[in-house]
Amino acid sequence: MEEPQASVKPSRAAVRSAILRFPQRNPVLCISFVLAVVTSFIIPPDAAYRSYIDLKTVSCLFCVLAVVCALKNIRFFSRLAEGLVVLTGNLRLATVALVCVTFIGSMLIANDMALLTFLPLGYFVLASTGTERYMAPVFILQNIAANLGGMLTPFGNPQNLYLYSHFNIPDGEFLRIMFPPFLLSIALILACCFLLPRSPISLQRSEKSPLPLPRTLLYLALFALAIVMVFRVIPYWIGLCVIPAVLLLADRRALGQVDYGLLFTFVCFFVFAGNLSRVEPVRELLGNLLGKNPLVVSALSCQVISNVPSAILLSRFTSDYRSLLLGVNIGGTGTLIASLASLITFREYVRHNPNRKRYYLGVFSAFNFSFLAVLLVFSSLVG
């Protein structure tokens, strides 16, 4: 009679532990939910709430994430990247290759997914060649590459997707705004790679099995559909109908792997920002601050509440989308919470080096605040 009870207790303990760990693993989601609830007492729910949520942004983000999960399940990105890194002959060139694939990956599959895909590859390179002592700078450069590489495309960073849709920014103008800091970011990141030694390394592919061609072509076609949906070539509801339906048959696991926490975070911040925009003192305060220097205000806001919430909140109080777009992208560097993607890198590093948190944070801050300062000055002068 005691054995059934013993089997039940661990499951209850596991559930209790998961509940207690949830806020630690999803701090921004929990904060956004609390803020949405609190401001709902200030501005009680009414018909205006319907206008808060940008369904197009949420739909496009869902479709892009779902297809990227499907491509990741066949290891499409990691296999291509691994083939490139294997061709390098020393640590410096391997770091350049890792940074470049992360940079390009963030332009196509979003910064957080690029890190989830390519940080394990970075660890594989370092662990396989006995150069783990350089893990902090390599991971941090990959992190900066993910945050800044995604600035060039509307779907590269979640805040870009929102601002692109919210302000209906023309494609050509979006590229003109982001291209100068994008080029400078490439130059700065590559320059930092040369701080690493040219220690000889030798790598071999971890697996030789080819990509499944039919699935690869199918998922790439779905990815192309998601991209034309983001760029407003087709109505977003077409992609929202087709992509989940196809994945339900081809890889339903990908639908379950979508970061629904991120989508719900967007919804909560839509409610929070919509409510704050109807509070007159807050409207006046943020309007005055943004009227003085929207670039600096938006970049500094990211250091405290992260770049996605900053984009959603501040978009309600300014029409200067150029400065806001630059600020929330550049502002992804700086503090550890300036970009949600940086928390992914921190967790991955600590998993391998649990006793070197302070060292990592020191190196992280030195690199990130240097990038933040240089890019802010550059963008201010170019603007």
Contacts of 335 (CB under 8 A, 6+ apart): 303, 304, 365, 368
* Residue range 58-75: mean pLDDT, rounded: 90
Q: What is the mean pLDDT of the chain?
A: 88
Give domain status of residue 67, yes or no.
no
Give domain status of residue 63, yes or no.
no
222-269 pLDDT, tens digit each: 999 998 998 888 999 999 999 999 999 999 999 999 989 888 888 998
Residue 235 CB neighbour total at 10 angstroms: 11
Residue 207's pLDDT is 63
Dist. CA 200–CA 165, nearest whole Å: 47
Give domain status of residue 374, yes or no.
yes
* Residue range 185-191: mean pLDDT, rounded: 95
Give domain status of residue 96, yes or no.
yes
* Residue range 187-200: mean pLDDT, rounded: 92
Least confident of 12-21, 217-226, 250-259, 297-306: 12-21
Residue 383's pLDDT is 63
Give domain status of residue 103, yes or no.
yes
84-116 pLDDT, tens digit each: 777 787 889 999 999 999 999 888 888 888 888
Contacts of 323 (CB under 8 A, 6+ apart): 293, 294, 295, 298, 383
Residue 7's pLDDT is 46
2: Cα separation from own chain's centroid: 48
Residue 8 CB neighbour total at 10 angstroms: 10
Residue 124's pLDDT is 87
Q: Which one has a higher pLDDT value, 338 or 5?
A: 338
Burial of 354 (0-12, 13-18, 19+ CB in 10 A): exposed
Give domain status of residue 236, yes or no.
no
* Residue range 303-313: mean pLDDT, rounded: 89
Share of the chain above pLDDT 90, in %: 51
334-358 pLDDT, tens digit each: 999 898 789 889 988 998 999 999 9
Domain that holds residue 197: 75-210+259-382
Residue 363's pLDDT is 96
In Å, how far are 64, 78, 151, 166 from 111, measured between CA atoms?
Answer: 12, 15, 9, 20
Residue 5's pLDDT is 47
For the cut 70, the answer to whether the pLDDT of residue 149 exceeds it is yes
Dist. CA 316–CA 334, nearest whole Å: 24
Q: What angle do CA 64, 67, 70 make, to 5 degrees?
A: 150
Give domain status of residue 61, yes or no.
no
Residue 91: half-sphere exposure toward Cβ, Cα within 13 Å: 20
Amino acid at 263: L
Least confident of 23-37, 176-190, 253-267: 23-37
Residue 6's pLDDT is 47
Closest CA to 286 of 305, 267, 268: 305
Contacts of 365 (CB under 8 A, 6+ apart): 335
Q: What total number of domains does the chain contain?
A: 1
Give domain status of residue 338, yes or no.
yes
